[in-house]
Amino acid sequence: MNTRPAVALLSLALLPLALAASPARAIVAIEPFSEQVSTTIASPSDSPSPAYQWDVSYERSFDGFSIVKHVEINFLFETPLGFTAQQKADWKAQAEASVESIWNNKFAVRDTVNNRTYAVGVDITVDGPFDQTISVAQRPADCGSRPGDLDCRDNMIKWFSDSTPVIHAHEFGHMLGLYDEYDGGAVDKLNNPTLSSDGIMGLGALDPDPVFYARYFQQYRDFIGGIPLAEYQRLAGSGVAQGNFVLVAVPEPGTWAMFGVGAVMLMAGVRRARRADTQRSLAS
């Protein structure tokens, strides 16, 4: 018996599937310019060893729309919390969403030569392989009477379950490579350290609506400024010239109407980068 007609029919039946799949593949065909950053940061002190030292690990990428630092976080829940699997999942999702919304779209990077603006943001994922591990802890019961003691304060790798989203976002700032900006913290230099009473890396971490300074995003500007021209053209368009990049503050939501369509594009940009990341990790 000749089976060739059946095979031909099968091939024809598969063809529409192949056609349907090809546009989706085309969308993710443009690979972002990405690099892994792994470094140790030390805060200077008078003693021989640094007062504070921490490891920073993340992937930063530019996809033609946005510049994103992507951190994979392993949240471990301490036993006394007594969280169920569902409570852990809910807590992680909430922490991820709030820290991202606090850091995202505060600044953008503008290319003044090519008249383009790129969203700047962070992307937290919890799937691994991990860049950081955080212990989610129950705050000691007597911390109300001694809030300043070390074991009553969050740090980069120990987050109390009941701390404010801004405190968690401050600790996440250290994972981005940022120093503290308050006396007694992990400051950038011994003499005349960078301090602020309202910035999220300073005492503004205690404020529900802290200030975001351009210096927190300088690394994003430096990163895109260092992308080779051929790579920049591949992602931003073949017609672009060598860019000149500056950080610009993103307006508050109430003034977006004046800012125009670009602000909406900025919001979409970070989300788009995030989807691309997800697809990449599924692919590899």
Size of the site for Zn ion (CB under 5 A): 1
- For 218, phi and psi rounded to 5 degrees? -55, -35
- The interface with Zn ion within residues 245-264 (CB under 5 A) comprises none
Q: Please report how close the Cβ of residue 174 comes to Zn ion at its closest, in angstroms.
A: 6
Q: Which is nearer to Zn ion, 208 or 254 (CB)?
A: 208
User: How are beta strands 52-62 and 107-111 bridged, if at all?
Assistant: unpaired
Work out which of 96, 100, 180, 188 binds Zn ion, going by CB under 5 A. 180
Q: How far, in Å, CA of 36 to CA of 50, rounded?
A: 25
Q: Which is nearer to Zn ion, 131 or 180 (CB)?
A: 180
- The interface with Zn ion within residues 123-162 (CB under 5 A) comprises none
Stretch that binds Zn ion, among 92-100, 115-123, 179-187, 266-274 (CB under 5 A): 179-187
Q: Which is nearer to Zn ion, 180 or 188 (CB)?
A: 180
Q: Which is nearer to Zn ion, 63 or 154 (CB)?
A: 154
| CA-atom Rg of the chain in angstroms | 23
Q: Please report how close the Cβ of residue 102 comes to Zn ion at its closest, in angstroms.
A: 14
Q: Which is nearer to Zn ion, 123 or 180 (CB)?
A: 180
Assess contact for 105 and 266: CB atoms under 8 A: yes
Q: Please report how close the Cβ of residue 147 comes to Zn ion at its closest, in angstroms.
A: 15
Q: Please report how close the Cβ of residue 205 comes to Zn ion at its closest, in angstroms.
A: 7
- The interface with Zn ion within residues 33-62 (CB under 5 A) comprises none
Q: Please report how close the Cβ of residue 69 comes to Zn ion at its closest, in angstroms.
A: 17
Stretch that binds Zn ion, among 28-36, 173-181, 191-199, 213-221 (CB under 5 A): 173-181
Stretch that binds Zn ion, among 20-28, 125-133, 178-186, 235-243 (CB under 5 A): 178-186
**Residues contributing to the site for Zn ion (CB under 5 A):** 180
